[in-house]
């Protein structure tokens, strides 16, 4: 049997069954999602993280590329109670270490108590506990990945849906999921995808109807150029954001963000809309949150479990952002109307008051 060791910050080492060999280090997190492993594993927001599935069986409906959110696997390693051959083959082909037959209840309990933490992993025929501890030793804190955007963004701008006659969206790719672009294209938008460090002049050149900041990995304060874009555009151009995008918008407009203990990762996070009183189910994957929205923004939706901000609107500016993933890949489709609201805001057809689906 291939050996597998998982070393957690503080020195706790767990043993499992090695399924795909290699060494890895990263911030260990868990998701409670029971489906959507292809989407999660290709979500760029998981860059530099090690993903633990708390659901015990992962891979039971195979692996299909059309469900991928990006062209590669982003977590540095994958842990589960039981991984199917399909998933293991896929991870092995991408050189991503995989471990199963692990007591994931123990891993999740450690993360819940200690927070998302540094982790080192060693999988292979002759690896030892020391190899995993050596990886842990070299693991950086997530906030120290100061140029993580470069690892996940497009290198050059690209345009999708040029023939569409809807709104023109400038999407700042901080690690955007493919289904965000798809959701906008389906609504007839033209989407200019820009690198995470695009300049004001780059974006201005396409005359956007809305500046849209994507999801992405790591600490929002490490996306200084995207923060500057929001500051530069917000007075004259509507602004939208998803997940990291919400955090960047808050940082730009006088609010603040902070790291959560273990974050929200799963496909059934309940969100309350404060105006309508409706609760919707959402897909989430984040470890930071908006702490204070600041004087230009108001919180319109909150997480039912812990009251953290899930939706934010501009007070005097046209701004709408979501902390969850309205594009719903994977996950419930309760929140797809966010894209209609963003494009209505972009066209001046509506103000920024977004409400969840009304059934």
Ligand X SMILES: NC(=O)CC[C@H](N)C(=O)O
The annotation places the binding site for L-glutamine at 45, 216, 218, 244, 247, 285, 287-288
Query: What is the token pair recorded at 224?
Result: 């200084």
Give the residue numbers marked as catalytic.
243, 325, 327
Q: How far is the C-alpha of 22 from the C-alpha of 111, rounded, in Å?
A: 23
The nearer residue to ligand X, 187 or 264, going by C-beta atoms, is 264
Instruction: Rule CB under 6 A: say whether 218 interacts with ligand X.
Output: yes
Nearest to 283 by CA among 243, 343, 256: 243
Query: What is the token pair recorded at 344?
Result: 């209505």
Asked if 293 and 312 count as a contact pair (C-beta separation under 8 A), the reply is yes
Asked if 121 and 23 count as a contact pair (C-beta separation under 8 A), the reply is yes
The nearer residue to ligand X, 265 or 296, going by C-beta atoms, is 265
Residues facing residue 193 across a β-bridge:
158, 171
Among 14-22, 178-186, 279-287, 339-347, which window interacts with ligand X (CB under 6 A)? 279-287
Among 79-87, 133-141, 213-221, 335-343, which window interacts with ligand X (CB under 6 A)? 213-221
Nearest to 300 by CA among 313, 291, 288: 313
Asked if 98 and 88 count as a contact pair (C-beta separation under 8 A), the reply is yes
The residues near 4 (Cβ < 8 Å, ≥ 6 apart) are: 15, 16, 17, 18, 19, 97, 99, 102, 121, 122, 123, 127
Asked if 196 and 216 count as a contact pair (C-beta separation under 8 A), the reply is yes
Q: By CB under 6 A, name the one of 243, 248, 252, 343 that touches ligand X.
A: 243
Task: Report, in Å, the least distance between residue 286 CB and ligand X.
Answer: 3
Q: By CB under 6 A, name the one of 31, 190, 215, 308 that touches ligand X.
A: 215
Handedness of CA 47, 108, 258, 138 (dihedral sign): negative
Task: Report, in Å, the least distance between residue 284 CB and ligand X.
Answer: 8
Degrees, nearest 5: CA angle 24-67-187:
125
Q: How far is the C-alpha of 336 from the C-alpha of 226, rounded, in Å?
A: 24
Q: By CB under 6 A, name the one of 244, 250, 342, 343 that touches ligand X.
A: 244
Interactions with ligand X, residue window 280-319 (CB under 6 A): 285-288
Instruction: Rule CB under 6 A: say whether 249 interacts with ligand X.
Output: no
Interactions with ligand X, residue window 63-102 (CB under 6 A): none
Q: Kindly state the helix (H) or strand (E) to which residue 169 belongs, with its residue range.
A: strand 168-173
The nearer residue to ligand X, 284 or 300, going by C-beta atoms, is 284
Task: Report, in Å, the least distance between residue 213 CB and ligand X.
Answer: 10
The nearer residue to ligand X, 12 or 259, going by C-beta atoms, is 259
Task: Report, in Å, the least distance between residue 283 CB and ligand X.
Answer: 10
- What is the total count of residues that contact ligand X (CB under 6 A)? 11
Binding site, by residue number, is 45, 216, 218, 244, 247, 285, 287-288
Residue with tokens 């100061």: 146
Instruction: Rule CB under 6 A: say whether 326 interacts with ligand X.
Output: no
Q: Which residues bind ligand X (CB under 6 A)?
A: 45, 215-218, 243-244, 285-288
């Amino acid at each position: 049997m291939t050996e597998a060791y998982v070393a957690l910050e503080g020195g706790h080492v767990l043993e499992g069954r090695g399924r795909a060999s290699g060494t890895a280090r990263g911030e260990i997190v868990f998701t409670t999602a029971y489906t959507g492993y292809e989407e999660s594993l290709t979500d760029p927001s998981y860059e530099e993280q090690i993903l633990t599935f708390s659901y015990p069986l992962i891979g039971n409906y195979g692996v299909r590329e059309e469900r991928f959110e990006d062209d590669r696997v982003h977590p540095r390693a994958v842990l589960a109670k039981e991984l199917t051959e399909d998933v293991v083959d896929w991870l092995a082909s991408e050189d991503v270490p995989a471990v199963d037959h692990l007591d994931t209840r123990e891993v999740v309990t450690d993360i819940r108590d200690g927070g998302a933490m540094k982790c080192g992993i060693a999988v292979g025929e002759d690896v030892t506990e020391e190899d995993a501890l050596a990886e842990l030793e070299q693991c950086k804190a997530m906030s120290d990945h100061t140029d993580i955007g470069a690892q996940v963004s497009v290198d050059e701008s690209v345009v999708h849906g040029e023939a569409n006659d809807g709104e023109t969206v400038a999407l700042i790719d901080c690690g955007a999921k493919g289904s965000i672009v798809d959701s906008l294209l389906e609504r007839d938008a033209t989407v200019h995808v820009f690198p995470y460090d695009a300049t004001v002049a780059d974006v201005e050149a396409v005359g956007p109807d809305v500046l849209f900041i994507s999801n992405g990995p790591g600490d929002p304060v490490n996306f200084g150029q995207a923060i500057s874009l929001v500051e530069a555009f917000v007075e004259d151009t509507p602004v939208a954001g998803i997940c990291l995008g919400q955090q960047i918008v808050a940082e730009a407009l006088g609010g603040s963000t902070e790291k959560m203990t273990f974050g929200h990762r799963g496909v059934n996070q309940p969100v309350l809309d404060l105006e309508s009183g409706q609760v919707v189910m959402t897909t989430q994957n984040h470890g930071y949150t908006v702490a204070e929205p600041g004087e230009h923004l108001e919180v319109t939706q909150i997480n039912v479990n812990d009251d953290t901000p899930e939706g934010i609107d501009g007070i005097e500016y046209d701004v709408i952002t979501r902390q969850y993933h309205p594009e719903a890949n994977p996950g419930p489709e309760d929140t797809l109307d966010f894209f209609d609201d963003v494009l209505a805001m972009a066209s001046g057809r509506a103000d920024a008051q977004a409400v969840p689906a009304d059934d």
